[in-house]
Amino acid sequence: MSSSDDKITSLLSEERVFEPPTEGRDAAAIGSLDAYHAEYKRSMEDPEGYWAERAEELVTWDKKWDTVLDADFDKPEFHWFKGGKLNVSYNCLDRHLENGRRNKAALIWQGEPEEDVKVYTYQMLHTEVCRFANVLKKKGVKKGDRVSIYLPMIPELSIALLACARLGAIHSVVFAGFSSVALQSRIQDCEAKVLVTADAVIRAGKTIPLKPNADEALSECDTIESCVVVKRAGNDVSMTDGRDSWWHDEVAESDIASTCDPESMDAEDILFILYTSGSTGKPKGVVHTTGGYLTYVMHTCQYVFDMKDDDVYWCTADVGWVTGHSYILYGPLGLGATSIMFEGVPTYPGPDRFWKIVEKFQVNTFYTAPTVIRALMRDGDGPTQRYDLSSLRILGSVGEPINPEAWMWYHVNIGKEKLPIVDTWWQTETGGLMISPLPYATPTKPGSASLPLPGIDAAIFNEEGEEAGPNEGGHLVIRKPWPGMLRGVFGDPERYKKAYFNRYKDTYDPEDGARKDDDGYFWIMGRLDDVVNVSGHRLGTAEIESALVSHPVIAEAAAVGIPHTIKGQAVYAFVTPNTGVEHTPELLAELRGHVRKEIGPIATPDAIQYAPGLPKTRSGKIMRRVLRKIAANDFENFGDTSTLADPSVVEDLIKGKKALD
Ligand code: WTA
């Protein structure tokens, strides 16, 4: 055990509370707990006044709104800043050209190869965005049209999003780790007109072709008229005449201008659709709009990351997820910050890659996920000690509950026991951070996301919809609308209502379990629905099950989450093959490959077990809690199983599980 390991263990047993640093408080947006409480109180007493103030201060509006909020939980429908007009790309780019930031680095891109670095000043990014917006225009893209984006973490990804925002086109980013099948269903759902993709993804030293996935997806996407391809790796790709063209050729055309007027959008026009998993097999197209979203991501960026003009800020997420949308792009660029975009992975070429980047660019704020911390912990503190991390000021965490060991490792080895850690709870649906410490105001407790941000009315409800007492577990809920909230599930208003506003009246239901301690601190437990959180990525068990049963020899399948030391949770599946199909290990391997192909590598089950039958109630519902226990090798206390149609299947599954291990 190294000395820092000793420290971690001893600190853990003390259950300490960590005070925010005193240095930096005076310059912070909110610099004391009293100041937080005062601002929180004001935001709850007069939410509309509060949000109007924030929207006015942070955003440049072409036209001011008529009403701050028009909310109807029953429909449900929420309109923020109705009558207001603005353009998000103007706010993220143009206005910084006039306020002294023209030559400031907006984006610093670090490619996977160390020497691949590109720096875009606000002026340069503006030019690139305008040029690509003009390319999209030439392809017939107009306000309201959908553009699907399937790109690795290269600058063109950020440029494409901002170009859509400039034209008022709706972007729908599909994470480049998703399969062609997943891409296809998302393009079909939003009926995109253009797809932007690349030849390949460079990851951990390998070139992984991407264009073939796009081609496969587009074989059944009638709405797509054009496909623009970025050359990243230079591998051979096939181009379809009349549909496909190269990004670099398009932007180099002499008739492509370097300016493009931003479209003045209504506050409630859609900015983007981002698909996320829910409790049914079909991912939900979460809809975010223009004015409220921008206000909210800037508000949270300013308060939680205490963003200052000369800060270098690095969020390690992929722009393909909401964290990248809100905290690599829109929040930081809205505030005129310098944001790092990194193409690679934390462990390649070695487990010191992140710290090398921190030193290289003198990063001040570093925002990552617990799964990354856990993966890096395996290599001990050596890699962290090789670099000068003294530029760091604020550390952040997102994606899943951070276990206290990981929190302490982060605190000791990266934070050098001095830096505040902001554990930020939020969701794709919430648009931005909801519950989080403020770095210079909130004492932190390892494992707790702490207190709701100003403007956020969070509470814990029991099943009856009453507020739960201290330390009583229940449903985390949000009782007041906030500007960053999702405005719909694309094309499915019924699902919007059912998924988020049905459980309790006049309340948003995030489907997370949590408790609040005696100090009012929130401790998030995890999902209450059938969603598994693998390395901070949300996966619906129903999606995995439908991928498994799409295999011709599988009759039935059930997937559950099991605890995993690095990934937080892993996927474990039970399958019942058709009668007469031999139960071979080869078939199990094939099924894992099949899920990978249907959804993507992140959804691949860690293990699959044959199930002669699944534990079902007499009404045919699979009893998942029984499966979760068996998968986790916990063969006792299954709870009430009296409603099982055939209790003997449980014994069979236990036998099967024991035989596997
Ligand atoms: C979980 C990612 C505990 C939670 C921004 C939520 C967290 C889901 C935290 C959303 C956190 C995210 N502590 N749990 N700090 N952050 N979660 O939509 O279960 O990919 O509902 O958004 O991740 O995942 P999503």
- Cα 108 to Cα 121, 224, 302, 329: the distances in Å are 9, 32, 20, 12
Task: Output the residue whose Cα is nearest ligand 1's atom 16.
Answer: 399
Please tell me the distance from the alpha carbon of residue 100 to that of residue 95, in angstroms, as a whole number. 9
Cα 428 to ligand 1 centroid, rounded to whole Å: 8
DSSP symbols for 305-353: S---TT-EEEE-S-TTSHHHIIIIIIHHHHTT-EEEEE-S-TTSS-TTH
Question: pLDDT confidence of 70, banded at 50, 70, 90?
Answer: very high
Question: pLDDT confidence of 281, banded at 50, 70, 90?
Answer: confident
Please tell me the distance from the alpha carbon of residue 329 to that of residue 88, in angstroms, as a whole number. 11
Task: Please state the rounded mean pLDDT for residues 400-414.
Answer: 93
105-110 vs 117-121, strand pairing mode = antiparallel
Q: Is there an atom of ligand 1 within 6 Å of 426 CB?
A: yes
Query: 554: annotated binding-site residue?
Result: yes
Question: pLDDT confidence of 14, banded at 50, 70, 90?
Answer: very low
Task: Output the residue whose Cα is nearest ligand 1's atom 8.
Answer: 427
Q: Is 495's pLDDT higher than 60?
A: yes
Pocket test for ligand 1, best of 524, 534, 602 (most atoms within 8 A of CB): 524
Q: Is 198's pLDDT higher than 60?
A: yes
Q: Is 10's pLDDT higher than 70?
A: no
Cα 147 to ligand 1 centroid, rounded to whole Å: 26
- Cα 174 to Cα 130, 183, 187, 549: the distances in Å are 22, 6, 9, 24
Q: Is 604's pLDDT higher than 80?
A: yes
CA atoms within 13 A on the CB side of 201: 23
User: First and final CA of the chain: distance in angstroms?
Assistant: 30
Q: Residue 55: which of 44, 69, 45, 42 has the closest Cα? A: 69
Question: pLDDT confidence of 2, banded at 50, 70, 90?
Answer: very low
574 within 8 A of 538, measured Cβ to Cβ: no
82 within 8 A of 65, measured Cβ to Cβ: yes
- Residue corresponding to tokens 């694309």: 490
Query: 478: annotated binding-site residue?
Result: no
Query: 503: annotated binding-site residue?
Result: no
Q: In a 10 Å sphere around its CB, with 0-12 CB exposed, 13-18 middle and 19+ buried, how is residue 513 labelled?
A: middle
pLDDT value, residue 12:
45
391 within 8 A of 364, measured Cβ to Cβ: yes
Query: 565: annotated binding-site residue?
Result: no
Q: Is there an atom of ligand 1 within 6 Å of 436 CB?
A: no
Ligand 1 atom nearest the C-alpha of 436 is 15
Q: Is 9's pLDDT higher than 90?
A: no
Task: Output the residue whose Cα is nearest ligand 1's atom 7.
Answer: 400
Mean per-residue pLDDT of the chain: 94
Q: Is there an atom of ligand 1 within 6 Å of 450 CB?
A: no
ipTM exceeds 0.95: yes
Task: Please state the rounded mean pLDDT for residues 339-358.
Answer: 97
3-state DSSP assignment of residue 600: coil
Which tokens belong to 321?
A: 């997820």
Q: Is 317's pLDDT higher than 60?
A: yes
Q: How many residues does the chain have?
A: 661
546 Rama class: left (phi>0) / alpha (psi -120 to 50) / beta: alpha
Q: Residue 132: which of 226, 250, 261, 224 has the closest Cα? A: 250
Q: Residue 106: which of 331, 291, 337 has the closest Cα? A: 337
Q: Is 619's pLDDT higher than 90?
A: no
Which tokens belong to 574?
A: 């039970």
Question: pLDDT confidence of 403, banded at 50, 70, 90?
Answer: confident
630 within 8 A of 601, measured Cβ to Cβ: no
Instruction: Find the range with the poorest average confidence among 164-178, 323-337, 456-470, 605-619.
Output: 605-619
Q: Is there an atom of ligand 1 within 6 Å of 531 CB?
A: no
Q: Residue 312: which of 367, 388, 268, 378 has the closest Cα? A: 367
pLDDT value, residue 13:
46
Question: pLDDT confidence of 1, banded at 50, 70, 90?
Answer: very low
Q: Is 50's pLDDT higher than 90?
A: yes
Using the Cα atoms of residue 412, residue 392, residue 328 and residue 501 in order, give the sign of their dihedral: positive
Which tokens belong to 589?
A: 């391997």
Cα 511 to ligand 1 centroid, rounded to whole Å: 10
pLDDT value, residue 11:
43
Percent helix, strand and coil across the chain, each to the nearest 5: 35, 25, 45
Q: Is there an atom of ligand 1 within 6 Å of 20 CB?
A: no
Which tokens belong to 534?
A: 């693998």
Which tokens belong to 643?
A: 């409603």
Task: Output the residue whose Cα is nearest ligand 1's atom 24.
Answer: 427
Task: Output the residue whose Cα is nearest ligand 1's atom 5.
Answer: 427
Task: Please state the rounded mean pLDDT for residues 328-338.
Answer: 98
pLDDT value, residue 642:
79
Q: Residue 520: which of 455, 466, 439, 458 has the closest Cα? A: 458
Cα 642 to ligand 1 centroid, rounded to whole Å: 34
pLDDT value, residue 164:
98
pLDDT value, residue 202:
97
Question: pLDDT confidence of 638, banded at 50, 70, 90?
Answer: confident
Question: pLDDT confidence of 534, banded at 50, 70, 90?
Answer: very high
Which tokens belong to 471?
A: 């330390």
191 within 8 A of 222, measured Cβ to Cβ: no
Q: Is 277's pLDDT higher than 90?
A: no
Cα 399 to ligand 1 centroid, rounded to whole Å: 4
Query: 127: annotated binding-site residue?
Result: no
Q: Is there an atom of ligand 1 within 6 Å of 540 CB?
A: no
Query: 427: annotated binding-site residue?
Result: yes
Task: Output the residue whose Cα is nearest ligand 1's atom 10.
Answer: 427
- Cα 65 to Cα 94, 170, 335, 353, 431: the distances in Å are 21, 22, 21, 46, 21
Looking at residue 29, the DSSP 8-state letter turns out to be: S
3-state DSSP assignment of residue 409: helix
Provide the greatest CA pair distance for the chain.
74
Cα 537 to ligand 1 centroid, rounded to whole Å: 8
Which tokens belong to 302?
A: 């300013």
Please tell me the distance from the alpha carbon of residue 373 to that of residue 447, in angstroms, as a whole number. 13
Q: Residue 442: which of 454, 429, 427, 458 has the closest Cα? A: 454
Question: pLDDT confidence of 605, banded at 50, 70, 90?
Answer: very high
pLDDT value, residue 279:
75
pLDDT value, residue 623:
87
Of the two residues 95 and 378, the one the predictor is more confident about is 95
Cα 189 to ligand 1 centroid, rounded to whole Å: 24
| Buried-exposed string 154-173: b where 16+ CB fall within 10 A, e elsewhere | bbbbbbbbbbbbbbbbbbbb
pLDDT value, residue 4:
46
pLDDT value, residue 408:
94
229 within 8 A of 211, measured Cβ to Cβ: yes
Cα 237 to ligand 1 centroid, rounded to whole Å: 37
Cα 477 to ligand 1 centroid, rounded to whole Å: 14
What proportion of the chain, given as a percentage, has pLDDT over 70? 98
Q: Residue 214: which of 225, 229, 203 has the closest Cα? A: 229
Query: 428: annotated binding-site residue?
Result: yes
